[in-house]
Amino acid sequence: MQTYSYKDYEIRIMQAPPYSFNSVDNKPYNKVIVIENSEYKRGFEIEIERFGEVQTVLIISSYHTPENSFTALHKDGLFMMLNEVLCVFNPETLSVDRQTKINPMGTMFEVHTYSKDYILYGEMDIYRISEDLSVKWDFSGRDIFVNYQVNEPAFKMTSDRICLYDFEDNYYEIDYNGYVITDKTDVQK
């Protein structure tokens, strides 16, 4: 479960129980928002509490949305990375106020805040997204950003750079403007 405090709101996000449209067995929600309705979908429950009153919203999104680390605070509520769909959820109106799509080459894993922006870590892509949901830059390596050969995380943010390892043990460092500082790829592999 992820929890946030926004203005007078306490927001909790958790995996939702199975949901079938028009079923009487569904858990009741104040609102259901369908971001993506396909055969392969995942539901997230947003519980919004204000002055002791609780309202719940169900978000239906892509099956590829990560179960954790897909939300962050936004000046207008909650930033959500629902794999390729980015949106801002407004807890005051229980609605998605802004929505856009990115075009990643694989699954997106995590969202991190940086200044007023968001750094998105994905299987093949790293994005920097502004608070108006526009792409400032994106970066891809030679292979997927997962690490199995060295005892370092595949993705790490430091004060001045993002450090990345890919599946082939290539190492990259990019600054927060999207410029490559280090690219240690072994073309002999």
pLDDT, tens only, 121-172: 999 999 999 999 999 999 999 999 998 777 889 999 999 999 999 998 899 9
Q: What is the DSSP letter of 18?
A: P
pLDDT of residue 48: 98
* pLDDT bracket for residue 40 (50, 70, 90): low
Residues 64-95 as b/e (b if ≥16 CB within 10 A, e otherwise) read bbbeeebbbebeebbbbbbbbbbbbbbbeebe
Q: Does the pLDDT value for residue 92 go beyond 80?
A: yes
Domain contains 178: no
Domain contains 110: no
* pLDDT bracket for residue 186 (50, 70, 90): low
CA–CA gap between residue 140 and residue 120 (Å, rounded) = 12
Domain contains 9: yes
Q: Which neighbouring-strand residues pair with 117?
A: 114
Nearest residue to 67 via CA among 16, 118, 12: 16
pLDDT of residue 185: 78
Domain contains 29: yes
What is the domain extent for residue 28?
Answer: 2-101
pLDDT of residue 188: 44
The token pair that represents 49 in the structure block = 């509490």
Domain contains 14: yes
Q: What is the pTM of this model?
A: 0.91
Domain contains 79: yes
Nearest residue to 128 via CA among 81, 88, 95: 81
pLDDT of residue 189: 42
Domain contains 115: no
Task: Specify the number of domains making up the chain.
Answer: 1
Domain contains 126: no
- Angle, alpha carbons 58-60-66 (nearest 5°): 105
